[in-house]
Amino acid sequence: MDLSPFEANNSVSCRLVSQIPDVCRTEDCCLGIDEAGRGPVLGPMVYGICFCPVSKKEELKDSKVADSKTLSEEERENLFQKLDEAKSYVGWALQILSPNTISTSMLQRTKYNLNALSHDTAIDLIQYALDSGVQLKEVFVDTVGPAEKYEQKLSQRFPGIDVTVRPKADSLFPIVSAASICAKVARDRVVKGWNFTEDLGEVDTDYGSGYPNDPKTKAWLLKYLDPVFGYPQFVRFSWSTAQTLMDSKAVTVHWDDDEEAGEKAAQRQNNRSMLSYFSAAVGGGDQSAPHQTHRFFTERKLKSVDAL
Amino acid sequence: MAGKKKRTPNLQNDSWVVVAADSVINTKKHDSDPTFVRLRNPATDGASLYLLGSGDTQLYEVKAFEEDFHSWFVGQIVNRDGRLLFVTPMDPLYLILPYLIKSGNEGKFQPVHQVVMDEEFPACSRLLSCTRAQASLHHIAEEKEVGSQKFYRYSQERTMNWLKKKVERIVVALKKKNISVGEGVKSSTYVRAQIKSEDQEDDYLRYAHGLISEYICEDLSKAFLKHLGLPELTSPKETEPPSKKRKLSDKPVEAGEDYTKFNSADFARKPPKKMTAAQKSLAKVDKSGMKTMSSFFSPKVKAEKK
């Protein structure tokens, strides 16, 4: 697995692929999808697909791929090695969603949540397999969100393919286990060798599991909190763990889509109180009204300054 | 979460982001540095910030581009004040004018340094050292020379002519810069097909008058509007129709729309929206043996029989 395309620029999303085995273009194939690194506040989320001819399912089972969570790191690496050796009939593709991609998606003006991001990534990967000429007949997916809805969405998107969405699919279907191993191995390697684009000097890499409830991760987040910039791009800013820490420890930053409510916001936006429409007009003329700045200046947000 | 954030007051900061011509800070010719001064704003009568170039030879006004949610990254520093200050050349006559008008009421010819005096803004006398100031006073005042001394008296007629020239030059500038001046145009980025230029001539004139009114007092602005031959705009308030209800006809009131179609069978009600958690849990409650709410309001038949 060559991670260099992602390491060259780890702020964006990146796709890594194996060669497409020739048999996959001619025989009916099954495909498994799984992800790694959904929960951590640190590092990327990796989506993996694995595919092989339906006829080779048994061979895959014999290679003892299993849910990646039940395996040690070493076992996972070994299994990935095996999968790579079986490249005559097993293919894989990975989509690495950088923490920066996750942050900017979830925090942009029109919110793009993690489930939508996951679904779209999965769809893109299936589409990639189809575009590469893989004869897909069956797709097995570990669910994100309600399984039935997801299954319906995928079936609609890919008519003619038999889509099965199940929770814990990675322990039920060997092809999903294989995908989960690919994803997990890629995530482990990326996190271990993370290239910090920020100039942090000697970075303390002892950040634990990366999960929000890990005390080591929390300590690391506190240590690398910059009052102005927050965190390095390695951190998912959209995670509430990161946000709460920034809210309490970092400088407050205001954005113009911050939701403000109540009288103060109304006042700031120069809204008239509803009550003012019912009261009698005060006075008659606008004679006493203060000087009204010409629209040339108001349109350009230009104001006179009375002091520096 | 965001709603709880409070904006701390903008603390005194010691750096600003300023756009200014190089000539503003060119101090080679004179020994004094350019300085910010507070002077009386002719339009508002309040204080505004101006800048006098080195040697007080040139006057500049200071305008700030100010919008919510802006900050600066300057070098290695974050500046919370997101304003962008513009220092632009200004004709000092605009600032001298109010003083001349005031003294003009006395009707006497006076030496100008006796006129341009202000206890509140003592720096105003420095305006007279601007290269353009003394030489152009004849645009707004009558001059008399007695010996080596010059005396001035405010002239409304000269001022009007001077302002008119200014307006003409503004109109030229507005056209050159393609600034939309029509009433209906709100966005300067919205490109619309050129309208007949004759129709727009008045719009340009009015717009230019509005711009110049930023630099003169209200009374003068009104007089100048008359001088330009533009009618005063009535405020939209006065043109609003009375808010009385009017009877349109004596015919009996009839429904304007047929609502009976909603009574037909094929008009199905929309399924109820998602229930809240509380409603869901209530729906699950075992209701067997419970009386309906309406039963409490119906007459008690059994009781009467007994």
The answer to whether residue A58 neighbours chain B at the CB level (below 8 Å) is no
Q: Determine the pLDDT at residue A284.
A: 45
**CA–CA dist B42, B95 (Å, integer):** 6
For residue range B18-32, what is the model confidence (pLDDT) as tens digits?
998 888 887 676 678
How many beta-carbon contacts under 8 Å exist across A and B? 80
Which of B12, B15, B39, B65 best tests the A interface by mutation, with the highest count of A CBs <10 A? B65
For residue range A16-42, what is the model confidence (pLDDT) as tens digits?
999 899 889 998 999 999 999 999 999
Checking if the pLDDT of B191 tops 70, the result is no
Checking if the pLDDT of B121 tops 70, the result is yes
Checking if the pLDDT of B9 tops 60, the result is no
Checking if the pLDDT of A126 tops 90, the result is yes
Judged by CB atoms closer than 8 Å, whether chains meet at B235 and A299 is answered as no
Q: Is A35 annotated as a binding residue?
A: yes
Least confident of A100-114, A146-160, A277-291: A277-291
User: Looking at the partner chain, which of B5, B47, B207 has a beta carbon nearest the beta carbon of A306?
Assistant: B47
Cβ neighbours of B7 in A, within 8 Å:
252, 254
Q: Determine the pLDDT at residue B254.
A: 67
Judged by CB atoms closer than 8 Å, whether chains meet at B210 and A307 is answered as no
Q: Which of residues 253-272 of A touch B (CB under 8 A)?
A: 254-256, 258-262, 268
Q: Determine the pLDDT at residue A86.
A: 84
User: Looking at the partner chain, which of B16, B48, B67 has a beta carbon nearest the beta carbon of A301?
Assistant: B67
Q: Determine the pLDDT at residue A285.
A: 43
Q: What is the mean pLDDT of residues B172-201?
A: 69
Higher pLDDT, B258 or B83: B83
Q: Determine the pLDDT at residue A283.
A: 47
Among chain A residues, the shortest Cα distance to B86 is held by A302
Q: Determine the pLDDT at residue B1.
A: 36
Q: Determine the pLDDT at residue B232.
A: 77
Q: Determine the pLDDT at residue B305.
A: 45
Judged by CB atoms closer than 8 Å, whether chains meet at A304 and B62 is answered as yes
Q: What is the mean pLDDT of residues B226-252?
A: 64
Q: Which of residues 143-182 of A touch B (CB under 8 A)?
A: none
Q: CA-based Rg of chain A, rounded to a whole angstrom?
A: 26
CATH topology of domain B1-90: N-terminal domain of TfIIb (2.20.25)
pTM over 0.80: no
Checking if the pLDDT of B170 tops 90, the result is yes
Judged by CB atoms closer than 8 Å, whether chains meet at B207 and A260 is answered as no
How far is C-alpha A73 from the chain's CA centre? 23
Q: Determine the pLDDT at residue B120.
A: 92
Judged by CB atoms closer than 8 Å, whether chains meet at A258 and B3 is answered as yes
Checking if the pLDDT of A286 tops 50, the result is no
> In percent, how much of chain A has pLDDT > 70?
88
For residue range B213-223, what is the model confidence (pLDDT) as tens digits?
999 999 999 99
Checking if the pLDDT of B164 tops 80, the result is yes
The residues of chain B that CATH labels 2.20.25.530 are: 1-90
Interface residues from chain B to A (CB-CB < 8 Å) = 1-3, 5-8, 16, 36, 38, 41, 43-44, 46-49, 61-69, 78, 85-86, 179, 188, 207, 210-211, 213-214, 218, 235
Q: Determine the pLDDT at residue A132.
A: 92
Cβ neighbours of A306 in B, within 8 Å:
38, 46-49
Picking from B152, B139, B122, B99, the residue whose alpha carbon sits closest to that of residue B38 is B122
Cβ neighbours of A256 in B, within 8 Å:
68-69
User: Looking at the partner chain, which of A258, A286, A290 has a beta carbon nearest the beta carbon of B2?
Assistant: A258
Cβ neighbours of A259 in B, within 8 Å:
2-3
Res. A202 pLDDT band, cuts 50 70 90:
confident
**CA–CA dist B160, B138 (Å, integer):** 12
Picking from B54, B67, B64, the residue whose alpha carbon sits closest to that of residue A307 is B64
For residue range B263-282, what is the model confidence (pLDDT) as tens digits?
655 555 555 566 777 777 77
Residue B133 neighbours by CB distance under 10 Å: 21
Q: Determine the pLDDT at residue B10.
A: 54
Q: Determine the pLDDT at residue B213.
A: 93
**Counting Cβ atoms within 10 Å, is residue A37 exposed (0-12), middle (13-18) or buried (19+)?**
buried
The answer to whether residue A288 neighbours chain B at the CB level (below 8 Å) is no
Judged by CB atoms closer than 8 Å, whether chains meet at A301 and B62 is answered as no
Higher pLDDT, A279 or A293: A293
At B180, is the secondary structure helix, strand, or coil? coil
Structure tokens at A83: 């999968």
Among chain A residues, the shortest Cα distance to B3 is held by A260
Judged by CB atoms closer than 8 Å, whether chains meet at B1 and A243 is answered as yes
Picking from A163, A116, A148, A134, the residue whose alpha carbon sits closest to that of residue A52 is A134
Angle CA B136–B138–B139, to nearest 5:
75
Distance of residue B62 Cα from the nearest chain A Cα, in angstroms: 6
Q: Which residues contact B304 (CB under 8 A, 6 or more apart)?
A: none
Q: Determine the pLDDT at residue B155.
A: 93
Q: What is the ipTM of this complex?
A: 0.75
Judged by CB atoms closer than 8 Å, whether chains meet at B5 and A258 is answered as yes
The answer to whether residue A292 neighbours chain B at the CB level (below 8 Å) is no
Q: What is the mean pLDDT of residues A33-58?
A: 91
Cβ neighbours of B63 in A, within 8 Å:
297, 302-305
Q: Determine the pLDDT at residue A5.
A: 81
- For helices A215-223 and A240-249, give the axis angle rounded to 10 degrees: 40
Distance of residue A33 Cα from the nearest chain B Cα, in angstroms: 32
Which of A264, A276, A301 best tests the B interface by mutation, with the highest count of B CBs <10 A? A301
Checking if the pLDDT of A101 tops 60, the result is yes
**CA–CA dist A200, B268 (Å, integer):** 64
- For helices B156-176 and B218-227, give the axis angle rounded to 10 degrees: 80
Judged by CB atoms closer than 8 Å, whether chains meet at A305 and B49 is answered as yes
Residue B101 neighbours by CB distance under 10 Å: 20
Checking if the pLDDT of A255 tops 80, the result is yes
Q: What is the mean pLDDT of residues B77-87?
A: 91
Cβ neighbours of B85 in A, within 8 Å:
305
For residue range B37-65, what is the model confidence (pLDDT) as tens digits?
999 999 999 999 999 988 888 999 999 99
Judged by CB atoms closer than 8 Å, whether chains meet at B63 and A297 is answered as yes
Checking if the pLDDT of A67 tops 80, the result is no
> In percent, how much of chain A has pLDDT > 90?
44
Which of B1, B6, B209, B234 best tests the A interface by mutation, with the highest count of A CBs <10 A? B1
Contact B132, B52 (CB under 8 A): no
Res. B4 pLDDT band, cuts 50 70 90:
very low
Report chain B's mean pLDDT, rounded to a whole number.
80
Angle CA B243–B245–B249, to nearest 5:
145
Checking if the pLDDT of B247 tops 60, the result is no
At A117, is the secondary structure helix, strand, or coil? helix
Least confident of A42-51, A69-78, A183-192, A238-247: A69-78
**CA–CA dist A243, A240 (Å, integer):** 5
Side-chain-side CA neighbours of A168 within 13 Å: the count stands at 3
Report which DSSP code applies to A86.
T
Q: Determine the pLDDT at residue B235.
A: 55
User: Looking at the partner chain, which of B7, B38, B211 has a beta carbon nearest the beta carbon of A296?
Assistant: B211
